[in-house]
């Protein structure tokens, strides 16, 4: 079991507090997802599944590497949602399996984000969409806060300083839309399509 998995197994009981902070962003994110045409959707890092009720359409598959988180998610999930213990950096799904891949506050905590992005590309169908909600270090005074937190963000398995363009694998996708969330545009929703 990896150090990251151990951390999130221990962290699972505190996750509802994080959910309170993330709830406004996730509500906007899922409003966008629910407007997309129906299809097969994979959410990587479904956490405790507290947001599962926000899905209104699509055939949902969720994965989580933390057993503790996944057990809580299974209690929140209706029988129509398939949940698996799995690492997004090593998906066992066949290629070209999903119309959508959702990464909600996941890519900045991935051990190997390049590998995660390549796996997203592999399992997406041609012209499938990858939707990301995450913090992105802005080019304003908030970048100094990220730089400060970067000194100890490794304890939380988080990349505080985070630029999506630093990953070569993102070039396998085309950015269709970028939505900056208030305040300060620190959090963004990015919608990519597979080339």
- What is the C-alpha separation between 4 and 158, in angstroms, rounded? 10
Q: What is the DSSP-derived secondary structure letter of residue 94? A: P
Under a CB-based contact definition with an 8 Å cutoff, are residues 29 and 104 in contact?
yes
- Tell me, rounded to whole angstroms, the distance of Cα 147 from its chain centroid: 22
pLDDT for the residue 4: 52
pLDDT tens track, the chain, 195 positions = 554 544 444 444 454 455 655 678 889 999 999 999 999 999 999 988 989 999 999 999 999 999 998 999 999 899 999 999 999 999 999 999 999 999 998 988 888 999 999 999 999 999 899 999 987 655 665 554 555 455 444 545 555 555 588 899 999 999 999 999 887 677 899 999 998
């Amino acid at each position: 079991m990896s150090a990251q998995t151990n951390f999130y197994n221990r962290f699972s009981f505190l996750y509802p507090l994080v959910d309170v902070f993330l709830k406004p962003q996730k509500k906007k994110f899922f409003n966008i997802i629910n407007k997309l045409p129906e299809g097969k959707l994979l959410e990587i890092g479904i956490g405790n599944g507290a947001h599962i009720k926000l899905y209104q359409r699509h055939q949902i598959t969720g994965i989580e590497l933390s057993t503790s988180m996944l057990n809580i998610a299974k209690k929140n999930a209706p029988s129509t949602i398939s949940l698996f213990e799995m690492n997004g950096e090593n998906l066992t799904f066949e290629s070209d399996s999903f119309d959508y891949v959702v990464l909600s506050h996941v890519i900045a905590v991935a051990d190997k984000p390049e590998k995660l992005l390549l796996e997203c590309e592999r399992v997406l169908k041609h012209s499938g969409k990858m939707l990301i909600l995450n913090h992105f270090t802005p080019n304003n005074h908030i970048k100094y806060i990220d730089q400060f937190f970067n000194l100890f963000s490794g304890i939380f398995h988080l990349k505080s300083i985070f630029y999506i363009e630093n990953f070569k694998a993102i070039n396998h996708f085309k950015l269709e839309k970028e939505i900056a969330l208030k305040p300060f545009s620190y959090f963004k929703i990015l919608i990519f399509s597979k080339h």
